Chain A
Amino acid sequence: MGTGNFWLYLLVMFGVTYLIRVLPFVAFHRKIENKYVRSFLAYIPYTVLGAMTFPAVLYATGSMVAAAAGVAAAFAAAYRGKGLFTVAVCASAVAFAAGLIL
């Protein structure tokens, strides 16, 4: 930790993160009628997660091969309809095993 004040850092982080989530949530209280705007918002969860996952996931562990193995396992599990936790465990377990072998 450097010379900055922890409490001020904490306050700044909290303030920005809280307002960015809550202000839009409170401000929009009527249904948006426009078909294009609604479609845009419907695509958002998936495009955000897609962009967050690739290519960052390949660099999330020490080895790109282990990460790729974990991703492949996650896709296989998710495709078979497994839940969030199972898929996350598959990804970590396979990446761990691949890391040991390599």
Chain B
Amino acid sequence: MEQFLQGIKDGSPIGIGYFSVSFTFGLAAVSSGLNWWESLLVSMMNLTSAGQFAGITVMAAAGSYLELAVSQFVINLRYALMSISLSQKVDSQFGAGKKLFLGFANTDEIFAVAMSREGEVGSRYFGGLAVLPYLGWTLGTLAGAVCGNILPRQVSDALGLAIYGMFIAIIVPAMKKDSRILKMVLLAVALSCALYYIPVFQHISEGFAIIICAVAASAAGALLFPMEEGE
């Protein structure tokens, strides 16, 4: 119970952050033609920002199911890497049944907070960690879908930055603490900018670009600065 409550506490900033990000998703989903309960269902069943934004774009364009599946696969493939990382962090009580249920909640931010915890991660803690982000994500979507259009444009624009603020809040302390992480993040950012700005690479989709950069930088980190057991 104590673990669960600690998880809830650690998840609360993610939940509030998700509310503002999913608010913009609800807004975008409704303006792309979904109604409020369709937008809400998409958020309840996916719990992922980039994938959902891409998903409603395909839906709005009446794209094929294959196109939708491929876009989700590419954008969300990073979760496969994260889930392998997380599988190494959880304790032995975290069985397959719990993984089938709780693995769904392995988002960028929940993953990062779980990984930055000292020692192993139990299912109670991880479950607690997921509660408020899930609520924030679904309620934010609902709020954005129902009353998003009353917000001035400048406010919804500024809210678009909230998710990146959360990313920065996760990477900066790690970069400050460990110069190896600092170097590899800079490498990943440099690669990401190269793929974005160099014309030859511009046909690479955003999802693939993220995977290429993260895999290349992490592999460089593993070869140049391998971490010892217990770090």
Q: Do A and B bind each other?
A: yes
Q: Does B169 make an interface contact (CB < 8 A)?
A: yes
Would you call A90 and B48 a contact (CB within 8 A)?
Answer: no
- Secondary structure at the A interface, as helix, strand, loop or mixed, is helix
CB-CB under 8 A from A56, the residues of chain B are: 164, 196, 206
Q: Does B85 make an interface contact (CB < 8 A)?
A: yes
Would you call A43 and B167 a contact (CB within 8 A)?
Answer: no
* Option from A27, A74, A84 in Cβ contact (under 8 Å) with B13: A84
Q: Does B5 make an interface contact (CB < 8 A)?
A: no
Distance (Å) between the CB of B216 and the closest chain A CB?
8
Q: Does B145 make an interface contact (CB < 8 A)?
A: no
CB-CB under 8 A from A100, the residues of chain B are: 154
Interface size of A in residues (CB-CB distance below 8 Å) = 79
Query: Given that A26-B103, A55-B196, A61-B160 are contacting pairs, would A78 and B172 also be in contact in the complex, using a CB cutoff of 8 Å?
Result: yes
CB-CB under 8 A from B226, the residues of chain A are: 35-36, 39
Would you call B217 and A9 a contact (CB within 8 A)?
Answer: no
Nearest chain A residue, comparing its CB with the CB of B32:
A1
Q: Does B181 make an interface contact (CB < 8 A)?
A: yes
Interface residues of A (CB under 8 A from B): 1-4, 6, 8-10, 12-18, 20-29, 31-32, 35-57, 60-62, 66-67, 70-71, 74-75, 77-79, 81-93, 95-96, 99-100
